[in-house]
Amino acid sequence: MAGENVSFVVEFILLGFYNLPNLQGVLFGVFLVIFMYILIGNGLIVVITRVDPALQTPMYFFLGNFSFLEICYTSAIVPRMLSDLWTQKRQISLLACAVQLCFFYILAALEFLLLGIMAYDRYVAICKPLYYPIIMNNKVCNMLILGSLILATPVMIGETYQIFTLPFCGSNELNHLFCDVTSLLKLACGDTSVNEFSLYIICVVLGFVPFLLILVSYIRIINTILKLPSVGRQKAFSTCSSHLIVVVLFYGSVIITYIQPKSVHSAEKDKMLSLLYTIVTPMFNPIIYTLRNKDVISSLKKIITKGLLSLRK
């Protein structure tokens, strides 16, 4: 390369919805409304699981943390996307791109781990109800959250550092809505095999292992529920059905997006699919947990009633 002119990338251009110039304003309005709904809906779940004494149980403790993660997860992506739609300035520095990717990585890993922990919580509650208060005490719940953070954070920081030590040369157009690892590796002009392998290992440890835990937990949960009388069966299933729906949405959207044959991959398709796990799943989380959970609905009614009474005074 000594005799060649090589220009190294110092910033990226996030192409986003560049191919829909007449819809930039409409897309900005739609995504802004969805983002505000995600913040308010998940924020309400965080609040009620903290202030309502009736919801001071491990299940709602994890639900509150999951809703908080959904807020952070979406906030790592959507504000930048809204800014690009509004200003039409799509440049992003290497540092800003690395920070966005790192936060996205960490929060996604935490969601995978937390979904596995929530499945284990439901397993203990339904299959070992007498031991539930002992096994899932406050100390254990806090340690599980802290342990997930300790596991995910250094691993994802290291992976991000490894990706951004690669030389990026030639084109600086990142054909995605945000700094996505698959799009970044396409622009790297060095050998990316080590990065791809380490990313594969991380996906197995932080994604597939929690999925196996969820699968085993629900096999045992279903086996236990089927042995219960019809009344107890319905009540037991209702306590874990919401979590199961969220698992299917989150894992389903990620699997559809990333585990595809290369022959059917396209940048435009990847962008549309990425909206599933960055916007659609966080948007449905409050709907699933409020419409299918009587305790949450009751708590929301109490908060709304108190708020209306305070306004009248």
Is the confidence at residue 10, as pLDDT, over 80?
no
CB count within 10 Å of CB 41 equals 20
| Domain around 58 | 11-312
CB 62 within 8 A of CB 118: yes
Report, as an integer, the average pLDDT of 274-279. Answer: 84
Domain count for the chain, please give it: 1
Asked, for residue 3, whether it belongs to a domain, the answer is no
Cα pseudo-dihedral 166, 169, 171, 175, rounded to 10: 0
Residue range 71-81, pLDDT digits in tens: 998 999 999 99
CA dist 216 and 205 (Å) reads: 16
Residue-wise pLDDT tens digits, 119-133: 999 999 988 888 999
Asked if the structure places residue 243 within a domain, the reply is yes
d(CA 206, CA 222): 25
Tell me: the pLDDT tens digits for 256-273?
766 665 555 667 777 877
pTM: 0.88
Q: Write the CATH number for 123.
A: 1.20.1070.10
Residue 1 located in a structural domain: no
Distance CA 190, CA 209 (A): 31
Is-contact 253 281, C-beta < 8 A?
yes
What digits encode the pLDDT tens for the residues 148-195? 999 999 999 999 998 888 888 777 888 888 888 888 888 888 778 888
